[in-house]
Amino acid sequence: MSMGRAIAGLVVLAVAAGAALVEAAGAALEVAAGAALAEVAPPIPPAVDLPATPPLTDAQRKLVLSLSPLPPPPADPTNSVGDDPRAAEIGRRLFFDARLSGDGTISCATCHVPELGFGDGRRLSRGLADLPRHAPTIWNVAYQRWFFWDGRADTPWAQAIGPLEHPDEMAGSPERLVAVLRDDEALRARFVDLFGSLPPADASRDAVMRAAVNALKSIAAFERTLVSAPSPFDRFVEAVRKGDAGAMTALSPEARRGLVLFVGKAACVTCHSGPLLSDREFHDTRVAPLGGGAPTDPGRFEGLAKLRAAELSAGSRWSDAPAGKQAALSRRLVKEPRQWGEFKTPSLRNVALSPPYMHQGQFATLMDVVNHYDTLDGATPLGHHSESILKPLGLTPTERSDLVAFLESLTGEGAAEAAAATRPGGADQK
Amino acid sequence: MRRAAGPLVLALCLGALSCTAHRGVRDAARAVDKGSVVESNGGEYVVTWRSEPAPIPLDEAFDLVVHVRPREPRAADLALAVDAVMPLHQHGMNVVPDVHALGDGRFRVEGMFFQMAGDWEIRFDISEGALTERAQAAVQR
C-alpha cells in the first residue's frame, strides 16, 4: 500500500476514533492538519507518496494555519497616498535617487539593494560612514507596526526621514529632497499632478516640510508594493486547507519536519507568529554584539525615547491620522528596563534572500541563527529585568537542517525577479 | 494504545487538586469571553470585568469595562490601575492603558494590547487611601 493510501485510511480512522488514535498511529502531518477540515473538505486521495512527518497537536495545527496566507497589507491611515500608484511611482524614483544624499552618492537602495533581498549583504551597513547596525530588509514592510531595529519610527514615511537626514547615512535634508523634486522635470510633473504644487526655493520651512513629507509618503507608498508572493510554504498550507494531499508536496519532507519543529519543539512561532512570521514587537535575542564584550546598543529602550521626540510620527501634525489607532498605540507605549537591548522580531518571509542575520549581522547563515537559538552558546546573560523566552532546545543535527529547510521554503515565488524589476529601467517601470 | 491506569488516576487527582487551588484563576479564564468576576487577593473587593471587543483580540487594542465593589457593601473611594503580564515570558504589555474612573467603582480601561499569543494575566490593583489589593484573571490568547 502506498503511503498516500495509508494516509487516506488514517483520516477515516481519525474521524472515527478521535485525534488520540491519530497520534498513537504516528500519523503524517497532512493527516493531522487535514482531519479538522474533513467535515468541510473531504481529502482528495493523494496521487503521490508523502513521507511521514511527526504529528501536530490541535494547537500546533491551528498555529500552522494562522501563518498563511499573507493577506493584503493593512491600510495606513497616516498616509493618505499610501495606496496611490502615482505616489508609489514617485516614491520608487526617489528610492533609487542618489541626489537625495549630501554628496550625491547614496540612495535608499544603497542599503536596501533589490538583488540582495532589499538588504545590503553586509554585517554592518555603510552609508557615508560606517553604521552600527545591519540593514533590515524592506520586503513586506507595509505589515510592520514599528520601523528600524529599535522601532524609533511608527510609520514608514516617518522612518524614511531618518536615513535621509542622518549625517552617517545620506546626510540629506528636507530642503534637498524638495530641491530634487523641483529640479527634475519628470519628477516635478508627477509630484505637482498628485499634490498640487511644489514650494519655491525661498519657501518657509513649514512649506518645505509639507512637500518633503509628501515625498516621504510617496517613498512609503512604493515600499508598500514590496509584498512577497506566495511561497512553497503558502502552497502547502493552502493544500492543507483544501485537503489536497498531492499539492502538499509543495513543501519538501525536510521543510515539513522543520515546520513541525517551528510550531512545536523549537517554538520559533512564539515570536515569529502570524502571516508575517513576526509578532512585530521587540525581544532580547541574547545575541552577543559583534566583537564581543558587553552589549552597548540600548535597542528598543532608546528607540522609545527617540520615537517620543520625533518630529514625524503617526500622532504628529504631519500625519493624516494624528488621532488614529497607531498614534494612540504610540502614545501609550511604556519604557521599561527590560527593553534595554531588545530588537524587533524580523519577518521570516523571504528571509533566505537577505543574509547576514540579526541586528548586527552577527550570523552569516540561517544555520548559524538556528544554532544560536538551539544552544544559546555565547549568549549574553539574562538581566534581572529581562524576559525569559529563550531556552536551549536540544535539537539534533537533522532537526537543525530541517528548520533551515523550512525557513528556506518561505521565499516568495519570483521574489528575485520582482525585486530587480523595481529598479529604474526594470520591467515594472511606468 | 494501552496505558497504565494508575498514573492516569494520579494525574487526574493532582489535576483536580490544582484546579481547586486555582479555582478563581481557572474560572476567570473560562469566563473571559463573556466577562468574569474575580475577588481581590485580600478578599476585600470583588471585580467584575469584561473586554470590548470580546473575546480579547490579539495584536489589536481593546478596552476593559470594570466594576469594583467592596465585598461588604459600603461607600468607598476607589482607584484602579490595570496591567497585564505573560508570566511564562516574564514580560508584560508594551503599553500603559488609560484608566477612566466613571464613579461608583466603575472604570473604563482604554488601550490594552496583547502583542503576543499565549498565557496572559490581567492584574487589577485596587487602591483605597494608602491600601492596595490586587485581583488577577488568567486569559489565554
Residue in chain B lying closest to A25 (CA): B1
Q: What is the pLDDT of residue B75?
A: 92
Size of interface A-B (CB pairs under 8 A): 46
Whether residue A13 is predicted with pLDDT greater than 50 in this model: the reply is no
| Chain B contact present for A387, CB below 8 A | yes
A51-55, A97-101, A237-241, B103-107: least confidently modelled range:
A51-55
Whether residue A407 is predicted with pLDDT greater than 70 in this model: the reply is yes
Whether residue A146 is predicted with pLDDT greater than 90 in this model: the reply is yes
Q: Are A270 and B90 inside 8 Å of each other by CB?
A: no
Q: In this structure, what DSSP letter does residue A429 have?
A: -
Whether residue A33 is predicted with pLDDT greater than 90 in this model: the reply is no
Give contacts of B117 with chain A, Cβ < 8 Å.
270, 273
Whether residue A411 is predicted with pLDDT greater than 60 in this model: the reply is yes
Which comes out higher in pLDDT, residue A208 or A42?
A208
Residues A392-401 pLDDT 10s:
999 999 999 9
Q: What is the pLDDT of residue A3?
A: 36
Q: What is the pLDDT of residue A54?
A: 72
| Chain A contact present for B82, CB below 8 A | no
Q: What is the pLDDT of residue A386?
A: 77
| Chain A contact present for B42, CB below 8 A | no
| Chain A contact present for B61, CB below 8 A | yes
pLDDT band at A387 (very low <50, low <70, confident <90, very high): confident
Residue A33 is inside which H or E element, if any? Answer: helix A29-35
Rounded to an integer, the average pLDDT of A244-251 is 91
Nearest CA to A191 among A168, A217, A169?
Answer: A217
Whether residue A22 is predicted with pLDDT greater than 60 in this model: the reply is no
pLDDT band at A123 (very low <50, low <70, confident <90, very high): very high
| Chain A contact present for B96, CB below 8 A | yes
DSSP A60-118: HHHHHHHT---PPPPP-TT-TTTT-HHHHHHHHHHHT-GGGSTTS---HHHHSBGGGTT
The whole-angstrom separation of Cα A148 and Cα A219 is 16
Question: Which position has the grid cell 478521535?
Answer: A18
| Chain A contact present for B89, CB below 8 A | yes
Which comes out higher in pLDDT, residue A7 or B131?
B131
Q: What is the pLDDT of residue B17?
A: 39
What percentage of chain A has pLDDT greater than the value 70? 86
The mean pLDDT value of chain A amounts to 88
Compute the nearest-CA separation of B89 from chain A (Å): 5
Q: Is A248 exposed, middle or buried (0-12, 13-18, 19+ CB in 10 A)?
A: buried
* Grid coordinates belonging to A386: 529581562
Whether residue A403 is predicted with pLDDT greater than 60 in this model: the reply is yes
Residue A32 is inside which H or E element, if any? Answer: helix A29-35
- Listed in sequence order, the residues at least 6 apart from A375 whose beta carbon sits closer than 8 Å to its beta carbon are A392, A393
The whole-angstrom separation of Cα B108 and Cα A316 is 26
Q: Are A388 and B117 inside 8 Å of each other by CB?
A: no
Give contacts of B91 with chain A, Cβ < 8 Å.
338, 387
Do residues A100 and A94 make contact, with C-beta atoms less than 8 angstroms apart?
Answer: yes
Count of alpha carbons within 13 angstroms of residue A121, beta-carbon side = 6
Q: Are A332 and B1 inside 8 Å of each other by CB?
A: no
3-state SS class at A330: helix
Q: Are A387 and B89 inside 8 Å of each other by CB?
A: yes
Q: In this structure, what DSSP letter does residue A289 have?
A: P
> What is the CB neighbour count within 10 angstroms for residue A131?
18
Q: Is B91 exposed, middle or buried (0-12, 13-18, 19+ CB in 10 A)?
A: buried
Whether residue A58 is predicted with pLDDT greater than 90 in this model: the reply is no
Residue ranges, chain B, pLDDT below 50:
1-33
Whether residue A142 is predicted with pLDDT greater than 50 in this model: the reply is yes
A162-171, A218-227, B20-29, B118-127: least confidently modelled range:
B20-29
Residues 279-318 of A with CB under 8 A from B: 279-282
Q: What is the pLDDT of residue B35?
A: 65
Residues A315-349 pLDDT 10s:
999 999 999 999 999 999 999 999 999 999 999 99
Q: Are A332 and B59 inside 8 Å of each other by CB?
A: no
| Chain B contact present for A420, CB below 8 A | no
**CA-angle at A282, arms to A405 and A254, nearest 5°:** 10
Q: Select from A271, A329, A388 the Cβ nearest to the Cβ of B113.
A: A329
Residue in chain B lying closest to A327 (CA): B111
Residue in chain B lying closest to A326 (CA): B61
Rounded to an integer, the average pLDDT of A279-285 is 95
ipTM above 0.85, yes or no: no
pLDDT band at A210 (very low <50, low <70, confident <90, very high): very high
| Chain B contact present for A333, CB below 8 A | yes
Q: Select from B61, B96, B118 the Cβ nearest to the Cβ of A325.
A: B61
Nearest CA to A389 among B131, B116, B106?
Answer: B116
Residue in chain B lying closest to A145 (CA): B59
Q: What is the pLDDT of residue A57?
A: 83
The whole-angstrom separation of Cα A370 and Cα A376 is 10
Q: What is the pLDDT of residue A4?
A: 38
Rounded to an integer, the average pLDDT of A278-296 is 94
Residues 313-332 of A with CB under 8 A from B: 325, 328-329, 332
Give contacts of B116 with chain A, Cβ < 8 Å.
270-271, 273, 279, 281
pLDDT band at A383 (very low <50, low <70, confident <90, very high): confident
Q: Select from A270, A279, A334 the Cβ nearest to the Cβ of B96.
A: A334
Rounded to an integer, the average pLDDT of A416-426 is 91
DSSP B49-97: EEEESSSPPSSSEEEEEEEEEESS------EEEEEEEETTTTEE-SB--
